[in-house]
Amino acid sequence: MSNNCTIGEYLINRLRALGVEHIFGIPGDYVLGFYKALEDSPLQLINTGDEQGAGFAADAYARLRGLGVVVVTYTVGGLKVANTTAQAYAEKSPVVVISGAPGVEERVRRPLLHHKVKQYNSQYKIFQELTTAATVLDNPETAAREIDRVLHAALSRKRPVYIELPRDMVSKPCPNPTANPLPKVKSNPDALREALKEAVEAINAARQPVILAGVELHRFGLQDELIRFFEKTNIPLASTILGKSIVNEHRSHYLGVYEGALGQTDVTEYVESSDCLLMLGAFMTDVNLGIYTAHLDQGRSISVTSEKTSIRYHTYENIRLKDFLHGLLEADIRPRELGNIPRPPAPQEFQPTDQPITVKRLFQRLNSFLEDNTVVMTDTGDAMFGALDLAVHGRTKYLSPAYYTSLGFAVPGSIGAQAANPNLRPLVIVGDGAFQMTGMELATAVRYGMNPIVVVLNNAGYGTERPMLDGEFNDVSDWQFHKLPE
């Protein structure tokens, strides 16, 4: 990293080095200088209609690309992404929130600059509650170190972070670039060895081990390791709701989504009767637990996440999920017969009839319509629960706020998804209530030449705006929304 750059340039260079190619946001006066620097860089700006849309888009981008960035102005922009940042925190999506702010100098001289709320540091204090690391770049001497500290936190913990950039700092020289910006996080080798030994013994002794695959396998990009592990051992896997689409769901080892009593009965019974449940990167939220209808016996479980490793009733600290999974791959685990396991229902050929469409038949139709490049984006509610039955083809091809359950994610999220990978075709499934909140972002998709397919589940929530569907489900064919906003 060159020593001759500004703070704004250093931040941009670091983001690019971490694979970021797109920025989502809306300019405003306190962030104009940084927007100018962004425009002069190879990063592509995507301006959404409302900051909320930018926040959701950056979250989807982060889920697919490993890091997403939203750039907003002070308070009137920043506070509009409080909710989307909270979602990223709850669901472990590494989003970098960059907010412009009044200059360090003018904060002293001017007590009442526009956009100010209580104190100049109010927004910083708010984002401390919503992120895993936060900083105000108010000192050029420490700016590089601070940028790298928070970016490292985002990447290692897969949580959002907050960088506040006072407008008089953007063009200041940035000395002291960090020598080793991303120090490697290591497992405690002794704890890792002991935990692996216990786990391998339990797996080998088990009659019916089952893997429960969680969201962190997506976030840490451990799908290859997961596939090698279940192919080597023939241990079948289910996913949590938030972990859905961890593998191509047509794979023979895949049982389906485990969701307690709310799910497919044979999958629930199979998972709950396991005498060794290997939970990888799975968080036991109320939604993942089928609103507490799950019966998982901790005395027969092994759970490994980036935060904690538990075997039965005891815990280990400082074990990385990746190291644990690599250890399992190298360990002497006996392969077994896959046997006769529950399987998700196969997509059926859609039979056109004269009957009114039902939700069930809609999802049947959508199921046979999925292709390899389809990424299913669902909003909260019926859209999310209905779509759990869709057999997704690829890994990380189902994005849904399945724990935080905020409304309004899917439409702007599809913009982030298609920016992250232009070969993807988002299939957005959204309720009418959620569509009212962020559906206007379709205009953003049009502006940037994107082509999500949007299905609005019009269940007469509020009975107001129904711009895409004319009152009822009469049509579930391949909509091209860009023919609609005329």
Q: Could you list the residues that contact a copy of itself (CB under 8 A)?
A: 47, 49-50, 52, 75-76, 79-80, 82-83, 86-87, 89-90, 110, 112-119, 122-123, 125-126, 129-130, 283-287, 292, 403-408, 436-440, 443-444, 446-447, 462-465, 467, 485
Cα 353 from chain centroid (whole Å): 38
Which CB, 50 or 259, lies closer to a copy of itself?
50
Quick check: 376 and 394 in contact, CB under 8 A?
no
Contacts with 358 (C-beta within 8 Å, 6 or more apart), sequence order: 473
Nearest distance from residue 446's CB to a copy of itself, in Å? 7
Question: What is the rounded distance in angstroms from the CA atom of residue 290 to the CA atom of residue 189?
Answer: 35
Contacts with 336 (C-beta within 8 Å, 6 or more apart), sequence order: 233, 234, 235
Nearest distance from residue 89's CB to a copy of itself, in Å? 5
How would you label 312-351 residue by residue, b for 16+ Cβ within 10 Å and e otherwise? eeeebeebbbbbbbbbbeebebeeeeeeebbbbeebeeee
Which CB, 234 or 459, lies closer to a copy of itself?
459
Which CB, 112 or 346, lies closer to a copy of itself?
112
Q: Reduced to 3 states, what is the DSSP secondary structure of residue 96?
A: strand
Q: What is the number of other CB atoms lying within 10 angstroms of the CB of residue 13?
A: 17
Which CB, 50 or 249, lies closer to a copy of itself?
50
Question: What is the rounded distance in angstroms from the CA atom of residue 368 to the CA atom of residue 75?
Answer: 45
For tokens 């089928």, what's the residue? 290
Which CB, 121 or 273, lies closer to a copy of itself?
121
Identify the CA nearest to 49 among candidates 442, 451, 408. 442
Nearest distance from residue 401's CB to a copy of itself, in Å? 9
Nearest distance from residue 21's CB to a copy of itself, in Å? 21
C-alpha Rg value of the chain to the nearest Å: 23
Which CB, 109 or 207, lies closer to a copy of itself?
109
Nearest distance from residue 55's CB to a copy of itself, in Å? 10
Which CB, 34 or 124, lies closer to a copy of itself?
124
Question: What is the rounded distance in angstroms from the CA atom of residue 139 to the CA atom of residue 176?
Answer: 12
Cα–Cα distance list, 214 to 118, 176, 188, 226, 277 (Å): 40, 39, 23, 11, 13
Nearest distance from residue 478's CB to a copy of itself, in Å? 23
Contacts with 465 (C-beta within 8 Å, 6 or more apart), sequence order: 432, 435, 436, 439
Nearest distance from residue 466's CB to a copy of itself, in Å? 9
Which CB, 62 or 276, lies closer to a copy of itself?
62
Amino acid letter, 31: V
Question: What is the rounded distance in angstroms from the CA atom of residue 158 to the CA atom of residue 141?
Answer: 27
Element (H, E) at 71: strand 68-72
Contacts with 299 (C-beta within 8 Å, 6 or more apart), sequence order: 312, 313
Quick check: 66 and 21 in contact, CB under 8 A?
no
Nearest distance from residue 113's CB to a copy of itself, in Å? 5
Quick check: 405 and 385 in contact, CB under 8 A?
no
Which CB, 186 or 308, lies closer to a copy of itself?
308
Nearest distance from residue 166's CB to a copy of itself, in Å? 16
Nearest distance from residue 197's CB to a copy of itself, in Å? 28
Which CB, 277 or 407, lies closer to a copy of itself?
407
Two tokens at 177?
A: 């670039």
Nearest distance from residue 77's CB to a copy of itself, in Å? 8
Q: Reduced to 3 states, what is the DSSP secondary structure of residue 227?
A: helix
For tokens 């962004």, what's the residue? 38
Which CB, 209 or 381, lies closer to a copy of itself?
381
Nearest distance from residue 406's CB to a copy of itself, in Å? 4
Which CB, 113 or 357, lies closer to a copy of itself?
113
Contacts with 448 (C-beta within 8 Å, 6 or more apart), sequence order: 46, 415, 419
